[in-house]
Amino acid sequence: MTLINSNNLIEEFISNSEQETERKGSSLAKTLATETTLALHGDFGCGKTVFTRGIARGLGIELPITSPSFTIIQEYEHAHRMLYHLDLYRIDTEENALAFGIDEFINNKNAITVIEWADRIPNLLIGDCITIKFESVSLQQRVIRFYHKSVPSSLKSD
Ligand SMILES: Nc1ncnc2c1ncn2[C@@H]1O[C@H](COP(=O)(O)OP(=O)(O)O)[C@@H](O)[C@H]1O
Ligand SMILES: [Mg+2]
């Protein structure tokens, strides 16, 4: 099943530094509805965690944001909203993601959920979802492409 096609491309952004990537995440965060899921795709070192730090900063979270590659999830709370930051690198199948309980994070209407390596779970992403694909062009340059996929929120649970 193809969930994303090129028609869903919202924006292509060129980042020339870590700071620019973080700022992009921060400005996006200020526009997000609380129940949004951000599905991040891209190889190691292309800026997914840096971008997520920007999301956190944009939401007013000042704590250090570190990669949850070992813990799989980090949870943050600010102003009665949750930010869930997941890294699915170690979760290789949708079955394992469900066993971990990922649907509870994705379905939470009070949370923004950011998922690194979201390409592991294409069929589990329901509700308002923005897919963001990161590509390293050079040591300092990244192309960041934003795609939108919307599924009726009636599919979401409370
Ligand atoms: N334009 C850029 N945007 C984001 N990170 C960059 C950029 N240029 C260089 N970097 C470096 O790339 C690395 C990105 O790391 P990270 O965000 O942890 O990647 P990922 O989570 O995708 O594995 C950092 O070391 C950062 O300093
Ligand atoms: Mg990362």
CA 38, CA 36: separation in Å to the nearest integer? Answer: 7
Reported as type and span, the H/E element at residue 16 is none
Write down the pTM of the prediction. Answer: 0.91
CA 106, CA 123: separation in Å to the nearest integer? Answer: 12
Atom of ligand 1 nearest to the CA of 46: 22
110-123 pLDDT, tens digit per residue, is 999 999 999 999 99
Reported as type and span, the H/E element at residue 118 is none
pLDDT score at 149: 74
42-72 pLDDT, tens digit per residue, is 999 999 999 999 999 999 999 999 999 899 9
> Is the backbone of residue 113 left (phi > 0), alpha (psi -120 to 50) or beta?
beta
Residue 2 has pLDDT above 50, yes or no: no
Atom of ligand 1 nearest to the CA of 40: 22
Mutate to test the pocket of ligand 1, among 50, 89, 145 (most ligand atoms within 8 A of CB): 50
pLDDT-based confidence at 150, cuts 50/70/90? low
Token pair belonging to 138: 């050079």
First-to-last C-alpha distance (Å) of the chain? 27
pLDDT-based confidence at 128, cuts 50/70/90? confident
Distance 49 CA to ligand 2 centre (A): 4
pLDDT score at 6: 52
> 19-28, 81-90, 104-113, 147-156 — which is least confidently predicted?
147-156
Residue 41 has pLDDT above 80, yes or no: yes
CA distances from 97 to 8, 37, 150 (A): 26, 15, 21
Class in CATH terms, 17-153: alpha beta
Distance 1 CA to ligand 1 centre (A): 30
pLDDT score at 92: 86
Q: What are phi and psi of 116, to 5 degrees?
A: -80, 145
Q: Are strands 142-149 and 111-116 parallel, antiparallel or unpaired?
A: unpaired
List pocket residues of ligand 1, CB cut-off 6 Å: 15-18, 20-21, 42, 44-50, 67, 116, 140-142
Q: Provide mean pLDDT across the span 87-103.
A: 95
pLDDT score at 157: 45
Is 57 exposed, middle or buried (CB count within 10 Å of its CB: 0-12, 13-18, 19+)?
middle
